[in-house]
């Protein structure tokens, strides 16, 4: 299966993105280390390093989880989305160093295997003072490892877009485990009070962003009533040229594009990373996904050769000046005659 694997194709944009991200992460780690020493002069060097790497991973995770809803709210942030996986892998590396150092410091010098020691040292599941918060961190790290290992496009193609997306949605399970890990870790240690405040602030920040993004898309997800097996989308003049109107029909988002005097409809879900095709535009005769630039022909849903991706297509009709959509999807790559605007 690995014969199709290719290393990351580095380009100046990716290098710039990663250098800025790495520089920002280093600055966060340095700030946490200096702040720890200033506020707790008696703290050990091992604790400073642990907090610096763990805190940086925590901050990077919030940045990663913020990019999606922020882009839904303001398209100007889309450039952050292009290489979001790079940030995710970087976050995992900081978290792995934090976890490895913690295992060495607290579990490597006893009579039991370090992993056995980690899993059995604390058993007070119903008490704050003895809750095994390190196990929650181990669960989160295992999930992040799975996501980092499958972050390459090779695995996206091998698993297929929907499966890959479902696997990477486990990041929210990892986040919940990390909230438990950090919160109980703060309660059981001599960490300053502001550390607990930061945990609550991070949770509130992400909850607010995702709620606002969900409210923004609520109108789009409202199911349209079906009449004569067709859905009334909108007036044709309401669709800007080379752009789309996104409509929810039969439980699926459909992008209805207008280009010149023609109207076509394809699935709104890009085969690469489930990006919103309806938020892109038609350039050179192809719908361009706003996330990573994947292209599809509006009348067939197929990518131009030599690419092989394809999305389902839908039949459309013009009745007067209104666009009607047949919500029953056709097989990916099926040609559908565009409706012609009189």
DSSP string, 220-260: TTSBPPEETTEEEEEEGGGS-TT-EEEEEETTEEEEEEEET
Beginning with the edge strand found earlier in the chain, give each strand of the sheet holding 286-288 in spatial order: 281-283, 286-288, 295-296
C-alpha span between 57 and 149 (Å, rounded): 17
The pLDDT of residue 224 is 62
SS3 content of the chain, % helix, strand, coil (to 5): 50, 15, 30
- Fold annotation for 226-340: Rieske Iron-sulfur Protein (2.102.10)
The pLDDT of residue 5 is 45
Residues of the chain with pLDDT under 50: 1-5
Residue 311: its H or E element: none
- Residue 242, phi-psi category: left (phi > 0), alpha (psi -120 to 50), beta (remainder): left
The pLDDT of residue 2 is 44
The pLDDT of residue 264 is 96
Phi and psi, residue 290, nearest 5°: -70, -15
The pLDDT of residue 11 is 66
pLDDT digits 0-9 by tens, 43-64? 889 989 999 999 999 999 999 9
- Number of Cβ atoms within 10 Å of the Cβ of 282: 21
Across-strand partners of 259? 262
CATH 2.102.10.10 in the chain: give the residue spans.
226-340
């Amino acid at each position: 299966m690995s014969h199709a694997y290719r290393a990351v194709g580095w380009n100046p944009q990716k290098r710039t993105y990663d250098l800025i991200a790495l520089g920002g992460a280093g600055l966060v780690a340095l700030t946490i280390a200096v702040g720890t020493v200033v506020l707790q002069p008696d703290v050990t060097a091992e604790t400073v390093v642990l907090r610096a790497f763990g805190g940086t991973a925590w901050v990077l995770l919030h940045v990663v989880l913020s990019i999606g809803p922020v882009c839904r709210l303001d398209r100007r942030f889309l450039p952050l989305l292009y290489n979001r996986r790079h940030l995710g892998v970087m976050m995992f590396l900081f978290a792995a160093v934090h976890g490895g150092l913690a295992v060495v410091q607290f579990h490597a010098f006893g009579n039991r295997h370090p992993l056995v020691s980690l899993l059995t040292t604390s058993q007070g599941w119903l008490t704050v003072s003895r809750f095994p918060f390190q196990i929650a961190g181990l669960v989160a790290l295992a999930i992040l490892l799975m996501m980092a290992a499958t972050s390459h496009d090779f695995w996206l193609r091998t698993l297929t877009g929907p499966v890959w997306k479902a696997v990477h949605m486990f990041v929210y399970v990892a986040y919940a485990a990390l909230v438990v890990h950090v919160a109980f870790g703060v309660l059981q240690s001599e960490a300053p009070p502001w550390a607990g405040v930061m945990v609550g602030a991070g949770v509130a920040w992400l909850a607010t962003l995702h709620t606002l993004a969900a409210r923004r898309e609520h109108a789009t997800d409202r199911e349209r009533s079906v009449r004569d097996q067709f859905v009334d989308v909108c007036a044709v003049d309401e669709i800007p040229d080379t752009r789309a109107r996104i409509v929810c029909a039969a439980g699926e988002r459909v992008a209805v594009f207008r280009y010149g005097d023609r109207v076509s409809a394809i699935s709104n879900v890009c085969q690469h990373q489930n990006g919103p095709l309806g938020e892109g535009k038609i350039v050179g005769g192809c719908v361009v996904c706003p996330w990573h630039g994947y292209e599809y022909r509006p009348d067939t849903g197929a990518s131009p050769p030599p690419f092989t991706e394809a999305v389902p297509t839908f039949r459309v009709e013009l009745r007067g000046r209104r666009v009607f959509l047949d919500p029953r999807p056709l097989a990916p790559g099926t040609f559908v005659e565009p409706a012609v605007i009189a």
